[in-house]
Amino acid sequence: MKCRIDKSKCKIFLRFGKMPIANGFLKKNQFKKEYFFELNVGFNKKLSLFQLEKNPSPKKMFNENYPFYTASSKFMVSHFEKFSLWVKKYFSNNKKFKILEIGSNDGTFLKNFKKNYHVGIEPSKSVHKDAIKNNVNSENKFFNYKTIKKYIKKKIKFDIIVGSNVICHIPDQNALINNILKILRNNGLFVFEEPYLGSMYEKVSYDQIYDEHIYMFSATSIKKIYEKYGMKLIDAIPQKTHGGSMRYIVKNNINSKISKRLKKILFNEKLKNIDNFKGCIKFKKEVEKSKKRLREKILSIKSKKQKICGYGATSKSTTILNYCNINFKHIDCIFDTTPFKIGRYSPGTHIPILNHKLFKKKNYKNVFLFAWNHKQEIMKKEKKLKNINWFSHLN
Ligand code: TMP
């Protein structure tokens, strides 16, 4: 397979088999027409790039029904507030900075910048509508040349372009970077946060791999990619979001200095084989072990005639359930807070999604925590419930 960013080779090392759209929660009458694709993962040595072989078309994934709302997690709302303070501090000498966010979702981040010239670009209609309700200047579009043309014509340059959990969703990174360079001023910042390859390796959280995450970046890969475009990765800041993410700070000036923290992270990536193929092979073995362990755990609970439910119908759970062949025969239902998901079924494995309000009443004793990245927030909410066997594929 080919590297998606340059023409060098990329070697497939992990095959998950047939997968549906991770966020494709469906109605019963849609079961027969469900779309599946082969989820294969490869690694490109030259750019240290971890990527999917194929992905469904973005229109299949980010349509009017896209059910991910940033504001559904208090932790995420607070995270974006802190992130906005970080941006404001960086621009303390230029309070009138112009900001654009790629994939601005329901406006949770941008609503902190109402006094600034701000633009949000969001392709999913459902979340875009919420951004408008939040009084955020949101455009219901994909971030591409057609969308930014009006800014180029008006000679508007942004001081900072931001993206959170979206850059790894974009298949054509070359087009993305070329478009960014057209509207980012010299010395301007491109700052983005994405699930971090190093955290995924450490936790063996292979459920980070699904159709939307076309790339799983590391600091080494970002450094190499952006240097090709005359931009410099100047800093990287680890984040707790999404089970371990990295904030990358890329400056539109190749001659910029890099931080001590980034130097350490790059060194650590070498040490832990995050920048090379050895890390991939180790990870693959761990993933296979994790599958075996999880199946044994589920089958053992079922052999005692006990019931299991899920908590949090996450997009990530689609990879675990389909890869481990766990379905509605093993798990009765998944409780979730998202109105769009409630009453539907999980992609590929057809487990009913129920309103989280029913969780207490139903009294399940074995609970698969699919939303493990929100564990603290969830345990705080459910702390009154005793004697529950909470588990996930991570333990
Ligand atoms: P995410 O891992 O992609 O952020 O998805 C989290 C999912 O978990 C989302 O469908 C909402 C759901 N959820 C709950 O049901 N209860 C909660 O307390 C939280 C934080 C999330």
- Determine the distance separating the centroid of ligand 1 and the alpha carbon of 73, expressed in angstroms: 7
- Which letter, b or e, does each residue of 48-86 get, where b requires 16 or more Cβ atoms within 10 Å of its Cβ? bbbbbbebbebeebbeeebbbbbbbbeebeebbeebbee
Q: In what order do the strands lie in the sheet with 49-52?
A: 11-20, 36-44, 49-52, 215-216
Residue nearest to atom 17 of ligand 1 (CA): 378
Residue 380 lies in a domain: yes
Query: Residue 223 and residue 230: Cα distance in Å, rounded?
Result: 11
Q: Please state the atom number of ligand 1 nearest to the C-alpha of residue 67.
A: 10
One domain for residues 172 and 302: no
pLDDT attached to residue 331: 98
One domain for residues 71 and 203: yes
One domain for residues 260 and 339: no
Residue 33 lies in a domain: no
- Residue 351: give the domain boundaries: 295-391
Residue 134 lies in a domain: yes
pTM here is 0.94
Residue 34 lies in a domain: no
Q: Please state the atom number of ligand 1 nearest to the C-alpha of residue 315.
A: 3
Q: Phi-psi category of 391—alpha, beta or left, where left has phi over 0 and alpha has psi -120 to 50? A: beta
One domain for residues 142 and 183: yes
Pocket of ligand 1 contains residue 356 by CB under 6 Å? yes
Residue 19 lies in a domain: no
Residue 8 lies in a domain: no
One domain for residues 228 and 311: no
pLDDT attached to residue 69: 79
Residue 53 lies in a domain: no
Q: How far is CA 197 from CA 61, 192, 245, in A?
A: 22, 15, 8
CATH number of the domain that residue 359 is part of: 3.40.50.720
One domain for residues 98 and 222: yes
CATH number of the domain that residue 99 is part of: 3.40.50.150
Give 284-337 pLDDT, tens digit per residue. 999 999 999 999 999 999 999 999 999 999 999 999 999 999 999 999 999 999
Give 80-112 pLDDT, tens digit per residue. 999 999 999 999 999 999 999 999 999 999 999
One domain for residues 224 and 311: no
Pocket of ligand 1 contains residue 317 by CB under 6 Å? no
- Determine the distance separating the centroid of ligand 1 and the alpha carbon of 90, expressed in angstroms: 31
Q: Please state the atom number of ligand 1 nearest to the C-alpha of residue 356.
A: 15
One domain for residues 179 and 211: yes
One domain for residues 325 and 257: no
pLDDT attached to residue 395: 67
Residues of the chain with pLDDT under 70: 395
Residue 384 lies in a domain: yes
Q: How many domains does the chain have?
A: 2
Pocket of ligand 1 contains residue 165 by CB under 6 Å? no
